[in-house]
Amino acid sequence: MVVRVFIGSDHAGYELKNHLVGWLKEHGHDVVDCGPAVYDAEDDYPTFVLRAAEGVAREPDSLGIVIGGSGNGEAIAANKVRGVRAALAWSDETATLGRQHNDANVISVGARMHPVEDATRFVELFLATPFSGAERHQRRIDQLSVYEETGELPPLP
């Protein structure tokens, strides 16, 4: 499946981001590199990650990749953008389940946590895995969407 991919990182994810931009293009994806364009050890991840997440929110059929040292801050930042569901992937299973069960549209990866080969595989699995569409998963996503729009908590059982 070929898809438009928005990608952003901070300095800790800079090298992995550049690797993934090339890998994505080699695999036919339409890549939007949200930066950084140069390595700067003092840069701030929200600058680039929020741009990638906003791109995904604007284009519903697109996906996103955000990268930092651990991936935690990047997932938190991406999840601040309305309409984004960012999943932190640290294994093949979490990369797959983020799409399959949570219909995540952004994957967050910690560049300092994984070898390049593993991080690339997480991205490959994430992009290749469709949302299951199972009713229970859609119900939960819908609850989150309502909360995001209205601030209304889901009813207690």
- For residue 109, the surrounding DSSP H or E stretch is strand 106-110
Q: How far apart are CA 155 and CA 10, in angstroms?
A: 39
Strand-pair category, 4-9 with 30-33: parallel
Alpha-helix runs per DSSP H in 28-115 = 45-58, 72-78, 92-100
Q: How far apart are CA 48 and CA 66, in angstroms?
A: 9
Catalytic residue among 15, 101, 124, 137: 101
Q: How far apart are CA 111 and CA 15, in angstroms?
A: 8
Say whether 74 is catalytic. Answer: yes
Phi, psi of 18 (to 5 degrees): -60, -40
Catalytic residue among 74, 93, 117, 149: 74
Residues with catalytic function: 74, 101
